[in-house]
Amino acid sequence: MADPAPRSIRYLRLERTGDSVRKQLAAFDQIRGVQGWMIGTGIGEVLFTTLRSTFNLRMLDDIGDHVARSGAGATNIEPANEVEINFSQGTVLGQKIGRGWLMIFCDPGADLAMARMTCSVAAAALSSDRSFQNALGSAVQSVMPDTTRG
C-alpha cells in the first residue's frame, strides 16, 4: 500500500509550460463547487495537485484508471478517455491528457456542467500543447522511470 500522498506534490513543472496552459488550469478556480484539480499518471502517481486536503491522492488517481479499464472490459471497446465518478460527498471528473489524467474534484452542488466543459476544453488544449506534454513526459519519467505505458 502506498504511503499517503504529501500535501503538496509538484513533480510536474508547470512553470516550464506556456501561459495558455496555466490559464486553462486556472479556469477551474472560477467554477462554483470545484475544490481543486490534480494531474496524475492514472496508475497511482500524482504529479501535481492544487488540493489542500488529506485525501489519499494516489488512491484517487487509481480510481480513474480502474474505471477506465473496467468500462473497457465490460464493453470490449478501447479504454475510456474520460470518467465521471459520483460519490455521496462529491464528484470526480477525469480526462486523459496524453500520458496523464486531469482529475477535477467537485463538491455536492458544484456547477458540474461548467466543470465538465472546462475539463474537456482544458484536456484538449493540454493534450496538444507541446510544452505541457514535454513537462508531463518528464514528470512521468521521474516517478516511473521504467514505464513504457503511453
Interface with other proteins (CB under 8 A): 27, 29-30, 32-33, 35-36, 52-53, 107-111, 113-114, 116-118, 120-121, 124
Write the Ramachandran bin of 132: left for phi over 0, alpha for psi from -120 to 50, otherwise beta: alpha
**Of the two residues 31 and 63, which places its CB atom closer to other proteins in the complex?**
31
CB of 93 to other proteins, least distance (A): 12
Cα distances from 21 to residues 123, 127, 145, in angstroms, run: 10, 10, 25
Q: Which is nearer to other proteins, 4 or 29 (CB)?
A: 29
CB of 114 to other proteins, least distance (A): 4
Question: 22 with 37: CB under 8 angstroms?
Answer: no
Which one, 120 or 138, has the nearer CB to other proteins? 120
Q: Which is nearer to other proteins, 34 or 140 (CB)?
A: 34
> How many angstroms separate the CA atoms of 11 and 49, rounded?
9
Give 126 or 136: the residue with its C-beta nearer to other proteins.
126
- Considering only CA atoms, which of 147, 150, 117, 136 is closest in space to residue 39? 136
Closest distance of CB 79 from other proteins, Å: 16
Residue 109 C-beta: closest distance to other proteins, Å: 5
In the complex, least distance from residue 147 CB atom to other proteins, rounded to whole angstroms: 27
How far apart CA 94 and CA 11 sit, in angstroms, is 19
Phi, psi of 20 (to 5 degrees): -65, -35
